Amino acid sequence: MMPGSNSAELQEVFIDGDTGDRGLVSAASALAMVQTLLRNRFAGKPVRIYEAGGGAVSYLPPEVLRNAEITVVDIDETQLRNNQYARSKICGDIQTEQFPPDSFDLVVCYNVIEHIERPDRAVDRFLEALAPGGLVFIAAPNPYSLSGLVTRFTPHWFHVWFYRVALGRKDAGRPGHAPFPVVYHPLVVPRRLIEFCRARGCRIVYFREFETSHLGTLRNARPVAAKVLDALARGLELILRRSLRLGDFHILIERPPQ
């Protein structure tokens, strides 16, 4: 049984996006909320963590990492070499990598499922390896947001150009550095992912859409361009009657305790 597996520790928080600024939460604030939930759940306890496509950076709070035994699986050898915190580093594919049941208390898949051909298989592998009462934390972009639509319908070279020129990331596109090619399987759409997990008997204990971090970065690096994008998004939102600036989402999925 996972330490602190009482499902009452996490009440269901389902915060859906809306049109207008009320629903606009920054990426940093959204991540801080999830980190608080995970800190309350795991801090001070031994916890087995699987970072799926984790690469070299963890988005978990230090209080959780301090007592964690971390396994990272990534197809990018450069990312794995740069990882300084995982106990076990596996060069592999999260769509096929399998672990025995009850291997992990927490699975983290941060901005990865949009890049793979079969996220359904990956999520199934996560749930199979998860302890009863364990959590899966998934972060991903919404394919139907403004940033998602631009990413889907522009070539990869344009994404690299945007990162280098607009966001000022000079290493963008080089080995081990974003942006990585996107696939956007239909399961990446938040509602479909939620339905998929519920169909497998899981509980959604937290969900929130928020503004993509790229817009915040763009406002600092290219304020004029950011204002143009904001104006464009607002105009389209009035026509479509839904928010396009809620570019990313977080979801916490709980496997039912046995």
List, for residues 84-134, the tens digit of each pLDDT value: 899 999 999 999 999 999 999 999 999 999 999 999 999 999 999 999 999
In a domain, 51, yes or no: yes
d(CA 20, CA 236): 11
Q: Is 201 within a domain?
A: yes
The predicted pLDDT at position 6 comes to: 34
Cα–Cα distance, 82 to 235 (Å, whole number): 42
Residue carrying the six token digits 């550095």: 177
Q: Within 10 Å of residue 218's Cβ, how many Cβ atoms?
A: 22
The total number of structural domains in the chain stands at 1
Token readout for 231 is 């104006």
Provide mean pLDDT across the span 65-85: 92
40 in any annotated domain: yes
Beta-carbon contacts of 98 under 8 Å, excluding residues fewer than 6 positions away, are: 125, 128, 129
Whether 229 is in a domain gets the answer no
N-terminal to C-terminal alpha carbon distance within the chain: 9
pTM: 0.85
Decide if 100 is inside a domain.
yes
Query: Looking at residue 128, what is its pLDDT?
Result: 96
- Look up the CATH number of the domain holding residue 62: 3.40.50.150
CA–CA dist 127, 50 (Å, integer): 11
173 in any annotated domain: no
Q: pLDDT higher for 2 or 211?
A: 211
Q: ∠214-219-224 over CA atoms, to 5°?
A: 125
Structural domain includes residue 90? yes
Domain encompassing residue 101: 11-148+182-212+244-254
Tokens matching residue 162: 């945007």
Report yes or no on 113 lying in a domain: yes
Confidence at residue 11, expressed as pLDDT on a 0 to 100 scale? 43
